[in-house]
């Protein structure tokens, strides 16, 4: 079967023929429908993040997948069920984090990530998985099911951000998303359901499809070249919630200055080392005197995937159609990894229902 | 009656004769027993923080008080009841934060603080207050009741820190208090009841009364001159919880490096502006990849005061006796503001039960 892989020392994704996997006892065989591509995939391909399973020369890419059960293999998961797989797996056997359904909170060493680090992903015509790592979707969401994983990332980040504000009455009215990539835009659409006034920060000129989508969602586009993050409260308004999806390290500290009293910043980017000057006194003081919080969030668990299925079902079709700019066949896999201003979200299509 | 005040442009606390206040309708008259002194009082006296009520030339100091109801004035609060007053008041009438019992979450402009900014404090033989701002104490805690306010500060900070970790299973086993001042040491004693292993950071040489108290509490003393905060995980262990009570701006960012995966730092200090270099990339990444959080916390509300009364009742007498190094009469008020290495916590005694 055809798989899209990243090889050790390689410079881009490659198509490789691999044997169709045979499900072990307790596993099902899934026929892959679509697999999304995101920034993490590009980092893996560039050798900046993750890597193949121990002892192997390549990693099957892909961690945002939707498929259909092809062989139930004696499990309860009926053939024909549409499923999205979660990403983390125990490195061997299980451990306390997986046992309590919180692999997203596992520390380094207590997990591998399919398609990212230490375990093959889903960019194959077929993959196998235990049913506990597969979340069911209604059949009419099969086309968009590869968005369940990125949506689940935001479900978790928002859950943690809201939890941090749960010791008092908190009803966010303003929210700012830093970043107009696909995760930022998905989050903007999700926040539109919860928060009165939404904003999205980018650094693009018009005409631009992401700016169009921001505005079609009823949000305000903020050009960071005109309005740096710390100036947003004066130019627009202080933000009850900031969601950082840029990986730009200055945004972590600048977020504090953009917050309203009692606000929270959810951080999701993963920048490399970068030393720069910060007014650490003001940062510290602003956190304290205004009861502000910063919450880092990575990965997501099965509960977040299930919430994401609900969220996906509630997103208007036009949002999904605007967001997913490219669905390409396996033979055009390199096009799915393209990263220019015309692409918002791309997916590889292996098969259809 | 005698009051200890700070005058505009003054250089230290002063004793001043003022008329005994007359309770308005709905207010009680409280006879003051003891009033604690903390770093905020020293900042107010030094003109670095807060100030007198509008149109007045002086501020009656003191926000950590315990007293006894001297005139119930027709309210439900019986004469003889021992009470500790909360600190924040509405600037005029009331507002939503006070109405829902969360004045600690009010933004600037929506509160004054008795003894700190915009309203007279409790360093007087008598003060008046509406009963809603007075929390009852058992009579046997009257001596120590001035500690209810600082304990309430930690009740709130810990409530917010724990809330930020409430979206997953979190059972902190290690906790580090930054700062061996009276608030740090009180917090260390409180954390000893909740967390297996506690640490306290200071920069003092032995012999020292704070180091003795740290060790008598079963905690490990960490000398920041030998072990800077970011090295604590290697030298000791990563911390599930860090409680910052130094106001040293570098500690806000260094806290992130001291945390265990899924850990939280509660920040309480209020530094001035200070620009310095930070590896903002590592800070950002460490927050995200390890699901860490930073939570700023200021002030406290009536619920925190009530929790603090319970906590105070549970603290061993020897801890309180070690902590409160100086109880001085009103005529020796300047001694209560002394700040050297022999003082841990000082209080002014106006009267006894």
Number of CB atoms found within 10 A of residue B316's CB: 11
- Say yes or no to pLDDT of A9 above 90: no
Instruction: Collect all residues with Cβ–Cβ distance below 8 Å to B207 and sequence separation of at least 6.
Output: none
CA A266-A141-A32 angle, 5° bins = 95
Classified by CATH at the fold level, domain B2-137+316-349 comes out as Quinone Oxidoreductase; Chain A, domain 1 (3.90.180)
pLDDT of residue B339: 87
Q: Within 13 Å of residue B88, how many CA atoms lie on the same side as its CB?
A: 26
Question: Residue A272: pLDDT above 90?
Answer: yes
CA torsion sign, B137 to B141 to B143 to B146?
A: negative
Helix, strand, or coil (residue B195): coil
Closest CA to B152 of B131, B183, B127, B122: B183
Q: What is the pLDDT of residue A132?
A: 98
Query: What is the mean predicted confidence (pLDDT) over A200-220?
Result: 97
Q: What pLDDT, on a 0 to 100 scale, did the predictor assign at position A148?
A: 98
pLDDT greater than 90 at residue B296: yes
Average pLDDT over residues B190-199: 97
| pLDDT value, residue A10 | 85
| A40 labelled binding-site residue | yes
Residues 6+ apart with CB under 8 A from A336: A37, A326, A328, A346, A347, A348
A154-296 CATH? 3.40.50.720
Q: What is the 3-state secondary structure (H, E, C) of B159-178?
A: HHHHHHCCCCCCCCCEEEEE
**Residue whose entry in the numeric block shows the structure tokens 């092809």:** A70
Token duo for residue A215: 């505005």
Task: Tell if the CB–CB gap between B296 and A288 is shorter than 8 Å.
Answer: yes
pLDDT band at residue B86 using 50, 70 and 90 as cut-offs:
very high
Three-state DSSP at A351 gives coil
Bridge pairing between strands A293-296 and A2-7: unpaired
**Shortest Cα distance, chain A CAs vs residue B90, angstroms:** 17
Phi, psi of B294 (to 5 degrees): -120, 130
Domain extents for chain B?
2-137+316-349, 154-296
Q: Is A202 labelled as part of a ligand binding site?
A: no
ipTM of the complex, rounded to two decimals: 0.97
Please compute Rg for chain A using Cα positions. Answer: 20
Q: Helix, strand or coil for residue A139?
A: helix
Is pLDDT above 90 for B10?
A: no
B275–A271 CB contact, under 8 Å: no
- Identify the CA nearest to A102 among candidates A341, A305, A285, A335: A305
How far is the alpha carbon of A11 from chain B, nearest alpha carbon, in Å? Answer: 25
pLDDT digit string (tens) for B98-120?
999 999 999 999 999 999 999 99
Q: What is the DSSP string of A195-242?
A: -SEEEEEE--PSS-HHHHHHHHTTPEEEETTTS-GGGHHHHT--EEEE
Query: Nearest to residue B309, comparing CAs of B66, B29, B38?
Result: B66
pLDDT recorded at residue A11: 84
Q: What is the pLDDT of residues A322-345, one digit of tens each?
A: 999 999 999 999 999 998 889 999
Q: What percent of chain A has pLDDT over 70?
A: 100
Other C-beta atoms lying within 10 Å of the C-beta of residue B341: 10
Q: Do B163 and A163 touch (CB under 8 A)?
A: yes
Q: CB contacts < 8 Å between A and B, how many?
A: 189
Question: Are A169 and B102 an interchain contact pair (Cβ–Cβ within 8 Å)?
Answer: yes
Question: In which element (H, E) is residue A187 found?
Answer: helix A182-192
Task: Kindly report the length of chain B.
Answer: 353
pLDDT at B9: 85
Q: Is the pLDDT of residue B304 over 90?
A: yes
Question: At A140, is the secondary structure helix, strand, or coil?
Answer: helix
Q: Using CB atoms, pick whichever of B168, B275, B279 lies closest to residue A275.
A: B279
What confidence score (pLDDT) does residue A339 get?
87
Residue whose token pair is 């360093």: B123
Residues 6+ apart with CB under 8 A from A11: none
B67, B122 in Cβ contact below 8 A? yes
Q: Is A44 annotated as a binding residue?
A: no
Tell me the DSSP string of B84-110.
EE-SEE-SSS--HHHHTT-GGGPPTTS
Q: Is B284 within 8 Å of A168 when comparing Cβ atoms?
A: no
- What pLDDT sits at residue B11? 84
Q: In sequence order, what are the beta bridge partners of B30?
A: B69, B127
């Amino acid at each position: 079967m055809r798989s899209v892989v990243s090889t050790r020392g390689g410079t881009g994704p490659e198509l490789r023929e691999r044997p169709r996997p045979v499900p072990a006892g307790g596993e099902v065989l899934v026929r892959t429908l679509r697999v999304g591509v995101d920034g993490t995939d590009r980092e893996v391909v560039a050798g900046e993040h993750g890597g193949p399973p121990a002892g192997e020369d390549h990693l099957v890419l892909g961690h945002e997948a939707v498929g259909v059960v092809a062989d139930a293999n004696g499990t309860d998961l009926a053939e024909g069920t549409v499923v999205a797989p979660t990403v983390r797996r125990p490195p061997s056997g299980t451990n306390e984090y997986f046992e309590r359904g919180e692999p997203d909170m596992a520390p380094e060493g207590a997990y591998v990530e399919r398609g990212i680090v230490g375990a093959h992903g889903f960019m194959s015509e077929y993959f196998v998985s235990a049913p506990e790592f597969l979340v069911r979707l209604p059949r009419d969401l099969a086309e968009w099911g590869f968005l369940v994983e990125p949506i689940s990332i935001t479900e978790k980040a928002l859950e943690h951000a809201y939890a941090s504000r749960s010791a008092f009455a908190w009803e966010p009215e303003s929210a700012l998303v830093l970043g107009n990539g696909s995760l930022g835009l998905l989050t903007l659409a999700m926040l539109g359901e919860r928060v009165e006034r939404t904003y999205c920060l980018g650094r693009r000129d018009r005409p631009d499809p992401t700016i169009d989508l921001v505005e079609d969602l009823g949000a305000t586009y903020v050009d960071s070249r005109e309005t740096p993050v710390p100036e947003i409260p004066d130019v627009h308004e202080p933000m009850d919630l900031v969601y950082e999806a840029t990986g730009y390290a200055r945004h972590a500290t600048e977020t504090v200055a953009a917050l309203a009293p009692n606000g929270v910043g959810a951080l999701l980017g993963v920048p490399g080392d970068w030393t720069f000057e910060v007014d650490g006194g003001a940062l510290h003081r602003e956190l304290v005197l205004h009861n502000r919080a910063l919450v880092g969030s990575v990965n997501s668990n099965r509960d977040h995937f299930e919430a994401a299925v609900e969220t996906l079902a509630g997103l208007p079709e036009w949002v999904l159609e605007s967001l997913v700019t490219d669905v390409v066949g396996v033979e055009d896999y390199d096009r799915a990894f393209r990263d220019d201003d015309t692409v918002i979200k791309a997916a590889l299509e292996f098969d259809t229902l």
